[in-house]
Amino acid sequence: MSSGDWSGVYYYLLFFAGGYLLGSIPFGFILTRIVGLGDVRRIGSGNIGATNVLRTGNKKIAALTLILDAAKGTAAVLLGAVWSEGAAMAAALGAFVGHLFPVWLNFRGGKGVATYLGILLGLSWPAAASFAVAWLLVAFVTRYSSLAALAASAVSVITLAVMTQWPVAALSSLLAALLFIRHAGNIGRLLRGEEARIGQTH
């Protein structure tokens, strides 16, 4: 491999690393601590995302967690896009991995739903819109946040494929696959009829 090829690899690794550090900011953990709600990892599912923050009963903090977790995904994309589409994609992947495996919390993070939405918003707003609509529809009908997230991620990938945005569709397929893996426990509980519905504390 030539030195020029290696410089390209380092270029994308740099943006991946920057996205990772941004994505690894655990807003749910930080916000619940700031307002005196304790360690969000000790309630509900133990997750640091907005759905579990909602189980504290503080809707405002849950909403703020959702916004900030999405915003870090969008920010990573936009910062990378200043240089190139490839840099934006590398930063997006880094942000998603950072949210799932934050170095600050011993690599035990969230499931990536809000960050995935934020990444879509930065890369393709129609796909982000399709995700949001699908999530709201499934959540309204079933009251299962996890099922809504899984369905919405699949819909967003299909939307990107229909739009023939192949690079973004490929990245989104990878992120959606990781999202499904992170929801393995939820999928099991859904199949057994044991999954908690939106608003339940346990």
Rounded Cα–Cα distance for residues 116 and 57 (Å): 24
Write down the pLDDT at residue 1. Answer: 39
Q: How far apart are the first and last CA of the chain?
A: 54
**For the segment 69-111, what is each residue's pLDDT rounded down to a tens digit?**
999 999 999 999 999 999 999 999 999 999 999 999 999 999 9
Write down the pLDDT at residue 5. Answer: 54
Q: Which amino acid is residue 96, in one-letter code?
A: F
**For the segment 146-156, what is each residue's pLDDT rounded down to a tens digit?**
999 999 999 99
Write down the pLDDT at residue 201. Answer: 56
| pTM for this model (two decimals) | 0.93
What HEC string does the chain produce? Answer: CCHHHHHHHHHHHHHHHHHHHHHCCCHHHHHHHHCCCCCHHHCCCCCCCHHHHHCCCCHHHHHHHHHHHHHHHHHHHHHHHCCCHHHHHHHHHHHHHHHHCCHHHCCCCCCCHHHHHHHHHHHCHHHHHHHHHHHHHHHHHHCCHHHHHHHHHHHHHHHHHHCCCHHHHHHHHHHHHHHHHHCHHHHHHHHHCCCCCCCCCC
The whole-number average pLDDT for the span 112-118 is 97
Supply angle C-alpha 135, 140, 142, rounded to 5: 95
Q: What is the mean pLDDT of the chain?
A: 93
Q: Is the pLDDT of residue 19 over 70?
A: yes
**For the segment 52-73, what is each residue's pLDDT rounded down to a tens digit?**
898 888 999 999 999 999 999 9
The whole-number average pLDDT for the span 47-54 is 90
Contact 154, 176 (CB under 8 A): yes
Write down the pLDDT at residue 7. Answer: 61
Question: What confidence category does residue 51 fall into, taking pLDDT thresholds of 50, 70 and 90?
Answer: confident
Contact 172, 160 (CB under 8 A): yes
The whole-number average pLDDT for the span 159-187 is 97
CA proximity to 40, closest of 64, 19, 16, 72: 64
Tokens 């799932």 sit on residue? 100
Q: Is the pLDDT of residue 202 over 60?
A: no
Rounded Cα–Cα distance for residues 193 and 19 (Å): 37
**For the segment 20-30, what is each residue's pLDDT rounded down to a tens digit?**
999 999 999 99
Q: Is the pLDDT of residue 3 over 70?
A: no
